Amino acid sequence: MNSIDKAIQPSVTYLESAKAVWDELGECFTIGNAPRVYELKNEIASFCQQGMTIKTYYTNLKGLWDELSSHSKIPTCTCDAAK
């Protein structure tokens, strides 16, 4: 707990595990991806070859798709039905 700023210690003091602390801090301080996802979708939709070789075009487009995919992880079910 000494590595956590004193101002936020009360919000995690009574959590039972390090994972629970990390999860709580992640929820509080993670910046949402919605603006970047929106930007990527627009960029993909308007992406044109415009003189690029097919190899360059494909590589650039795949890079955009890969980044979009990394922001669009499917959440895992944590309810009892998943067991």
Q: What pLDDT digit, counting tens, does each position of 11-57 carry? A: 888 888 888 888 888 777 777 788 889 999 999 999 999 999 999 99
Cβ neighbours around 40 below 10 Å, total: 19
Stated pTM of the model: 0.54
Which residues in 42-57 are b (16+ Cβ under 10 Å) and which e?
eeeeeeeeeeeeeeee
User: Cβ distance 37 to 72 under 8 Å?
Assistant: yes
Average pLDDT of the chain, as a whole number? 85
